[in-house]
Amino acid sequence: MAHMAQETETTSFSRWHALAGGCLFNIALGSYYAWSVFVKPLQTEFPEWTRLQTTSISSVNMVMLAVLYNVAGTLIGRFGARKIAIFGGLCYSSGMLLASFSHSLLTLYLTAGFLVGLGLGFGYLPPLYVGFKWYPEARGLVSGLAVGIFAAGSGIVGPLAGGLLGWKGLIYLIGWRQTFQVLAVIYFVFTMLGALWLNDPPSNFVAPKPKESGAAPKVSAVNLTTSQMTKLPSFWILWIAYMFGCFSGTMTVSQIKPFADQSFPAVAGVASVVAALAIPMGSAGSAVGRFLSGWMSDHLGRLLTVRAVLIAAFFAAPLMFHLKASAAMFFLMLFVVNYAYGTQLSVYTALAGDFYGPKFSAANYGILLLAWGAAGIAGPLVGGWVFDTYKTYQYAFYAAAAASAISLALLSMAKPPSAQQLREIGAA
């Protein structure tokens, strides 16, 4: 009996141990969302660089993550999550280090864009992959925790680099180049420690059975391969809905610090507290949305959860611009927009397994994640172009609201594949 109790305790510790590794790893990787804090310092040193050019680093990062997630998915079974994570962490931290020596846009794009993006692409999957193996009975919770911590990284790095309250920030104290170098060391330590804890469960591991709930998502009993999934028209409806749904978030994330600086300018050389808190507030919204909505979707249903936040984002995006004179309303709308964004990144991860089966869910979500990558291109590009053209973000926020409405309309048609559809693709 004592032996059984000891075995239970060891198994319980191992499960949390794996999640802790994923959280530590994702704190480092998720800090790339704080890129907008570097936009103004870069344009100050290189005034010939436009807002579109400097903020588009975010697009490169997101596209690299979306595309290379699929590559990591094909390699993780062969090399294991730990090795893939170590490679991703090395690329990510070295990319930040080399970016500190940039004197041209090309060098900046190759380092902070391509190499950091390479680290993101290979690093994003291992925490989810390991977490789903240890917690197959709580996929929504696992994805919510993993991507929630991912979002929280920018809430730490934004104030660390840009300043908050009495802290002037590393950029002010030592410059953006040295700040990149300090962050590179921190990222290396966090990712290497996190990777060491990303181990698969033992072969005799048996997960607890999930609690029954009438509204809980039903996981498909049929495991569709990626080629089978992409033959379904309903999949492409989901894909396009995901792309439009994330546009509001990717646009806001890439432009929020410059927008906040414009809306709440510095006084006598002292940065506005509201502007300084913009990245942490957005990060908090995204993190809470990823975690809380991931848990909620396990009990209320995935699609209902996403539809609810899209309605909220539709109103919040334009209101964030029009009510920016009030710090309280600015923070509230910023939180809502990022909450909706974080929710989708969490819930769609679990939705891929629900609709198309858990066996190939990592590869299947990789194709779905390309929709987020498309939003990662469109959001920063539209936001940067609108500002360069009109010197205001007004129309960018209108576009964000329109994108949320399109996504909501498409999701009204989204549903799991029917028995007839499964027969047509040879899966039933």
326-360 confidence digits (pLDDT tens): 999 999 999 999 999 989 988 888 888 888 887 78
User: What distance, in Å, lies between the first and last C-alpha atoms of the chain?
Assistant: 45
Q: How far apart are CA 92 and CA 187, in angstroms?
A: 8
Give per-residue pLDDT as tens, 159-179: 898 888 777 889 999 999 999
More confident site: 280 or 148: 280
Contact 84, 125 (CB under 8 A): yes
- Asked whether the predicted pLDDT for residue 128 surpasses 70, the reply is yes
Q: How far apart are CA 138 and CA 353, in angstroms?
A: 12
The pLDDT of residue 176 is 95
Q: How far apart are CA 89 and CA 24, in angstroms?
A: 11
Contact 93, 188 (CB under 8 A): yes
The pLDDT of residue 154 is 82
- DSSP 8-state class, residue 357: -
The pLDDT of residue 423 is 84
Q: How far apart are CA 182 and CA 184, in angstroms?
A: 5
Contact 29, 86 (CB under 8 A): no
Neighbours of 15 (CB within 10 A): 18
Burial of 307 (0-12, 13-18, 19+ CB in 10 A): middle
Instruction: Count, in order, helices (H) and strands (E) of the chain.
Output: 18, 0
- Asked whether the predicted pLDDT for residue 183 surpasses 80, the reply is yes
- Asked whether the predicted pLDDT for residue 42 surpasses 90, the reply is yes
Q: How far apart are CA 266 and CA 155, in angstroms?
A: 21
pTM, two decimal places = 0.79
Comparing 136-140, 283-287, 288-292, 380-384, the range with the smallest average pLDDT is 136-140
Residue 270 pairs in a beta bridge with 267
pLDDT band for position 139 (50/70/90)? Answer: low
Encoded amino acid at 381, one letter: L
pLDDT band for position 216 (50/70/90)? Answer: low
- Asked whether the predicted pLDDT for residue 306 surpasses 80, the reply is yes
Work out the average pLDDT over 181-195. Answer: 96
The pLDDT of residue 11 is 46
CA distances from 384 to 44, 46, 216, 218, 278 (A): 16, 16, 40, 41, 18
- DSSP 8-state class, residue 45: H
More confident site: 200 or 109: 109
When the pLDDT of each residue in the chain is averaged and rounded to a whole number, the result is: 86
Nearest to 240 by CA among 399, 368, 400: 368
pLDDT band for position 428 (50/70/90)? Answer: low
Q: State the Rg of the chain over Cα.
A: 21
Contact 346, 290 (CB under 8 A): yes
Q: How many residues does the chain have?
A: 428
The pLDDT of residue 156 is 86
Contacts of 107 (CB under 8 A, 6+ apart): 99, 101
Q: 189-226 b/e with 16+ CB inside 10 Å = b?
A: ebbbebbebbbebeeeeeeeeeeeeeebbebbeebbbb
CA distances from 397 to 25, 334, 404, 410 (A): 32, 11, 11, 20
Contact 384, 50 (CB under 8 A): yes
- Asked whether the predicted pLDDT for residue 320 surpasses 90, the reply is yes
Nearest to 310 by CA among 243, 371, 376, 253: 243
Work out the average pLDDT over 207-223. Answer: 64
CATH, domain range 2-201+220-424: 1.20.1250.20
The phi and psi torsions of 267 (rounded to 5 degrees) equal -120, 120
